[in-house]
Structure 1
Amino acid sequence: MGKLYNLVYLLLLALPVKSAAIDTPPSSGTITDSRDGRQYHWIRIGEHKWLTENMAFGLKESYPKCELCDVNDGTANNEGITKHDYIENYGRLYPWESALSVCPDGWRLPTIEEWQQAIEAHGPLYLSGRKMSKNAAELSSWGNWNGYASNDLGFSVLPAGRIDVSWDNFINYMKGFAFFWSATASSKEHAYSISMNHFQDGVEIRPRGKYIYAMSVRCINE
């Protein structure tokens, strides 16, 4: 009996053991937007997947609309950038109500609380802007945006600027500032937004006019 017991024990030891890592959710991946076939990368932060690229799906109320857009990059000279090149590098800019509906199926605009969780995952508010930003010198011209950008988790913020929708052919602060909508309204006229810029290392969270600005959109999974 003892020999039989030892044999069974040895056979059990020889069985493959399921690794805990197999059950660990993937930390990154890609999705394809079925509406236009565009592929987006994502990373996992906490309980959510976050797209690491700005939404680029063309809604009726999305910008830029012009083929050759005027760009104020913060210098004395305006630059011309084609609509195609802007979208390929920075995605599109959306008014708040459009931002609420632009994400692909299974994804949505994050609340301000979810944005705060993603920011906190990169460290304190006053440092997290650089840690969330991508070093891409060819897409930045203001000051030292890229000098301290470490993109710690691969969130890959780029300075897409924003548009005052009353001037829809003019992109302000491109190459120096990034602006993102949250899904959380702060009043009838305002919603919370997130911004980063070349002046500071941190992130600014503040209400901005829902019907005044068009800004970038990042999505999280439902």
Structure 2
Amino acid sequence: MNKIIIFLASVIAGLTLNACDDDNNLPDIVPSEHGAVTDNEGNTYNWVRIGDLLWTTSNANNGPLMDNYRYYDNTEWKNAFSKNEKAWLQEEYHPVYGNLMTWDDAMESAPEGWRVPTDEDWQKLERQLGMENTADRGWRGENGVGRKMQEKDTGCRLALMLGGFITVVPSGYAWIEMELDFTDEYGAFWTSTLTDSNPDHKTAYYRKVHCSNGGVDREAGRCDKLMSVRWCRNAQ
């Protein structure tokens, strides 16, 4: 009986160690090159090379400011943010998390020679970081790929920021809500790849990471949402 108990305890301990060690089984990707790029508004961003792609390491901070977005509440147009909220965005949010944009604005944001990553660009990055089921929808790579994407200790990592996102909730043909949600919990990032998941609205793939979930969410969302933007380009 004692031998059986000892055997079971060793099995459980082994499983626990393996579960806790998932992050250690991922490839240790050290960017092979790094540099900087400047956007059309004079903002400078660092970039790193991972595989055959260069990726910016901070969120885009150009384009139409999210501060100025308005919504229609069935009676009149209203500002999404109050004067105090706009001051907080300018002083605290934008310097850390950048700007949130609709898909159309995101497509116009990239500096010359750069692009909003395609869905395949993101999948290539995910495979490079150790994910296998990159073409699946929903949360994938729960072994820690999402945490890998958030690493910033060396200054040469992707350092995905958790800037939340803005969802516009429609009522009939009018907007009735526009709020910034889940700052410091989720980061949501556009791809440039459109989908046909909603016949009534233009939709595109995006990626989402969470502060404690080790995975990366691959889903499609309406293009009028406001999300963070990163850029990439092919390495020369």
TM-score by length of 1: 0.69
Q: Is the 8 A contact 1:180 1:215 kept in 2?
A: yes
The match for 2:61 is 56
Whether 1:198 and 2:198 are equivalent positions in the alignment is: no
The match for 1:173 is 182
How many Å separate the matches in 2 of 1:203 and 1:68?
Answer: 33
The structural deviation recorded for 1:199 is: 4.2
Secondary structure of the corresponding residue to residue 100 of structure 2: coil
Paired residues for 1:205-216 under 5 Å:
205-211=218-224, 213-216=225-228
Whether 1:32 and 2:44 are equivalent positions in the alignment is: no
Secondary structure of the corresponding residue to residue 98 of structure 1: helix
Q: Is the 8 A contact 2:67 2:89 kept in 1?
A: no
Paired residues for 1:1-222 under 5 Å:
27-33=33-39, 35-59=40-64, 62-65=65-68, 66=81, 67-69=83-85, 81-124=88-131, 125-126=141-142, 127-134=144-151, 154-165=157-168, 166=175, 167-168=177-178, 170-187=179-196, 189-211=202-224, 213-221=225-233
Secondary structure of the corresponding residue to residue 221 of structure 1: strand
Q: Deviating runs (4+, > 4 A) in structure 1?
A: 150-153
Q: Is the 8 A contact 1:131 1:152 kept in 2?
A: no
CA RMSD of aligned residues (A): 2.4
How many Å separate the matches in 1 of 2:43 and 2:166?
Answer: 23
Letter in 2 for 1:128: V
Equivalent pairs: percent with the same residue?
A: 28
How many Å separate the matches in 1 of 2:130 and 2:156?
Answer: 11
Letter in 2 for 1:176: E
Any gaps of 5 or more consecutive residues in structure 1? 1-24, 71-79, 136-149
How many Å separate the matches in 1 of 2:129 and 2:156?
Answer: 8
Greater shift in the superposed pair: 150-159 or 175-184: 150-159
The structure that has the greater radius of gyration is: 1
1:57-109 deviations in Å (ceiling 9; x for gaps) = 132xx413345338xxxxxxxxx833232111000001111111111111111
**Count of aligned positions:** 170
Letter in 1 for 2:60: M
How many Å separate the matches in 2 of 1:123 and 1:152?
Answer: 21
Secondary structure of the corresponding residue to residue 179 of structure 1: strand
Q: Is the 8 A contact 2:106 2:116 kept in 1?
A: yes
Q: Is the 8 A contact 2:34 2:156 kept in 1?
A: no
- Cα pair distance change 1:180/1:39, threshold 3 Å: same
